[in-house]
Chains A and B, each alone.
Chain A
């Protein structure tokens, strides 16, 4: 069983603040970073992996909103 890390609220807030500072206004990156962090604190590594997978799929689908016809792989 994967050991769940303990993250205090203080730490959560601090990390979020620092992420914003470090990513310097890159809204998309900030959003992704926060989402990853939140998902990790709530659901662990599995939740993060699922989020990343969904993110890739979302980007792919955004490229062709009519349907997934383009890709022949």
Chain B
């Protein structure tokens, strides 16, 4: 069995310089405050043995972080002692450049590298992982066992049992992905089956294709036949095509000649139809008679007579027509003269008409004036009757003016008096004056009498005024009458001749009217004659032209005969050519029909080929889908089998975990109770037990460890977590540690405890350490703690090393 004898550290974690100490007691306690390097020493033991520490394994720190910040390399040297082999020395070095070395010295023999590592594992009987579970107890794990929740406690215990890995693997094996794929494939297969259901069967498609293929071959045979026929007809057509050009030339020529012939015949017929008689000689005679009549109407008797003597002769017909044209020309000339005459008469008539209108206008004006004069004359007579003649009126005016002057004089005197009286009466002078008659004051009575007298005068003056105004009005009226009479006299004498003028004009008007009516009669007669002459002249002219035209067309007969002959020649040539137009057109029609049929067959063929392609595509799709379904079914089968296997594997990890746990717990319970019976000297609890409960955690169940102690008083199992004191809990936890130390066989006889007694009072701590040293059954305990009070002072098994003492020590 291995125990530790010496530790030497340099450049490791907190230690730059070399630290060296011997372990010479079963219980070796390192004390010192936080950061003093206690844990570094414990880590150095683990590092010395295995070249790693917990933190490096957990990747909390890197390996090079173990080197002191002020050093380039670390060195850890452990001296161990084995019962049979004696002293064993392990030295490890690791430098910042990554070089590492391990030397194992055993019986003066040095082993290096892998051999050294292998030998160390052989000597210890533990690898680094088991060492960290069984030998080097972490204070965090210890605390979790004592104070942690059931869940965290269970995690720690699983970890200490080494079966936490199996729980993790159980959880890592997820079947979600594979199940999703299975579902996906099932859906896919379902979709494909549905798609296949909607498609026809491959066999039916093949049958359809065969039928179409047969039809296609039939069409191809028909197509060949048609092609042959077309070729045959086209050869025949080619022969015709060679003659066609000549035939077309002849035919076009014939059409042109025929068109001309028709045109000439039509002209001839038209000229003939314009004659009124059956022969043109008769027509000329007819025209001559009409012309004679026309000439006579125009008083050209000589010419008429000359014409009547002319004998119409076919041989002289053109000469006669010329004569007729000359006579017509003369007649037309005469007609021109007649037109001029009529124009002159018309102008004269217009002139007379204008004159008549002027006279009529003047007559009307005179009639109005005469009427006015008669009215004024009557007015004058009335004035004379009323006022007398103008001399009498002048005399009356003169008399009235004389009277007025006289009245004005009287009125002036009276006005003067009245003004004087008014001045006298209106002032206060009258009251102050003495009467010129009686020399006494003028009394009011006198004043009143005077005023009355004055009033009378005043009235008289007003009468004067009235009279004077009346005279003035009378004079004014008479003057106006006189003036009016003068005006009338003057006006009437000035218009004395108006009536005679009126009479003269009226006579003249009637005379002019007679002339106008005569002119109008002449004009009507002239116009009637002109109209008749014009009409006849036109007819004669037209008929002469018609006859001339007809005579001209007589020359067309020769041409018509020529064309008829030409047509006969052309017909003969066409006939001899041997070009049967109808046959040619029939041939073309046949070829066209055959080509149309050929096109229809080609279209049908294309349609069939397209259908066949579509069937091919469907067949390929069906096959593809069937293949796809088959593959996916295989895939599904494989995946389902895999899923089942994975589920089985997953559950097996749980089963394995349960088996290991069960076996481990059986041993642990025994070891725990063994330790408990030695450590715990009180009588209240006598046995410990560990039970495993299955608790639902999320989608999984997990195992929860519950620690129990049996109460002696009633033999009931009491949960440690809820009933026991901290000290009791600590003892139970240390029993568990001791049990784990013994769980698997190994050669290490020392136990490393990092701060194993936190949160308990010093007395309990002291008791625990004492108990550990005496009863745990471990040969050597290396313990790190902060408090020194809890350490029993006079115990020969205990060596206490203060970290301060270690610094710089050899």
Contact = CB atoms under 8 A, between A and B. Distances in A.
A and B are partners in one complex rather than unrelated chains: yes
Interface of A: 1, 3-11, 14-15, 18-19, 22-23, 26, 28-29, 32-33, 36-37, 40-41, 45, 48-49, 52-53, 55-56, 59-60, 62-64, 69-73
Nearest to A61: B635
28 contacts: A1-B59, A4-B58, A5-B164, A6-B132, A8-B126, A8-B162, A9-B127, A10-B130, A11-B162, A15-B656, A15-B660, A19-B653, A19-B656, A36-B653, A40-B165, A41-B165, A52-B174, A56-B178, A56-B642, A59-B635, A60-B635, A60-B639, A64-B635, A69-B631, A70-B632, A71-B185, A71-B631, A72-B628
Nearest to A47: B172
A22 to B, nearest CB: 5
B165 A7 contact: yes
B630 to A, nearest CB: 7
B627 A52 contact: no
B169 interface: yes
Give the interface SS of chain A, mostly helix, strand, loop or mixed. Answer: helix
B11 to A, nearest CB: 26
Given A56-B181, A73-B185, 6 more contacts: A18-B655, A26-B645, A40-B165, A52-B173, A53-B177, A73-B187
Given A18-B660, A55-B642, A33 B632 contact: no
Contacts, number: 138
B721 interface: no
B573 to A, nearest CB: 81
Interface string B603-625: 00000000000000000000000
A70 B172 contact: no
A52 B635 contact: no
B656 A40 contact: no
A59 B128 contact: no
A71 B636 CA distance: 11
B632 A71 contact: yes
Interface residues of B, number: 51
B376 to A, nearest CB: 133
B652 A29 contact: yes
Interface centre among B159, B168, B630 (most CB of A within 10 A): B168
Given A4-B57, A71-B188, A29 B639 contact: no
B524 interface: no
Instruction: Give me the 7 closest cross-chain CB pairs, A-B, nearest first.
Output: A70-B631, A6-B129, A63-B635, A63-B634, A8-B129, A18-B656, A8-B130
Contacts of B128: 6, 8
Contacts of A19: 652-653, 656
- The binding surface of chain B is classed by DSSP as helix
A11 B129 contact: yes
A29 B57 CA distance: 31
A19 B431 CA distance: 176
A45 B172 contact: yes
B152 to A, nearest CB: 14
Nearest to B161: A11
A3 B649 contact: no
Given A7-B162, A8-B162, A33-B653, A63 B173 contact: no
Interface in B624-663: 627-628, 630-632, 634-635, 637-639, 641-642, 645-646, 648-649, 652-653, 655-656, 659-660
B666 interface: no
B593 interface: no
A30 to B, nearest CB: 9
Contacts of B632: 63, 70-71
B166 interface: yes
A5 B57 CA distance: 9
Contacts of B630: 70
Contacts of B638: 59-60, 62-63
B233 interface: no
A70 B635 contact: yes
A11 to B, nearest CB: 5
Interface in B163-211: 164-166, 168-169, 172-174, 177-178, 181, 184-185, 187-188, 192
Contacts of A26: 645, 648
A52 B643 CA distance: 11
Nearest to B54: A6
B744 interface: yes
Contact of A22 (B184, B188, B645, B652): B652
Interface in B106-131: 126-130
Contacts of A18: 655-656, 659-660
Nearest to B59: A1
A3 B59 CA distance: 8
Contacts of A55: 642, 646
A54 to B, nearest CB: 12
A48 B634 contact: no
A72 B660 contact: no
A14 B656 CA distance: 9
B127 A10 contact: yes
A6 B178 contact: no
Interface in B43-70: 57-59
A62 B642 CA distance: 12
Given A8-B126, A23-B649, A33-B649, A70 B628 contact: yes
Contact of B188 (A8, A49, A73): A73
A32 B646 contact: yes
Most central of B188, B627, B645 by chain A CB within 10 Å: B645
A22 B649 CA distance: 9
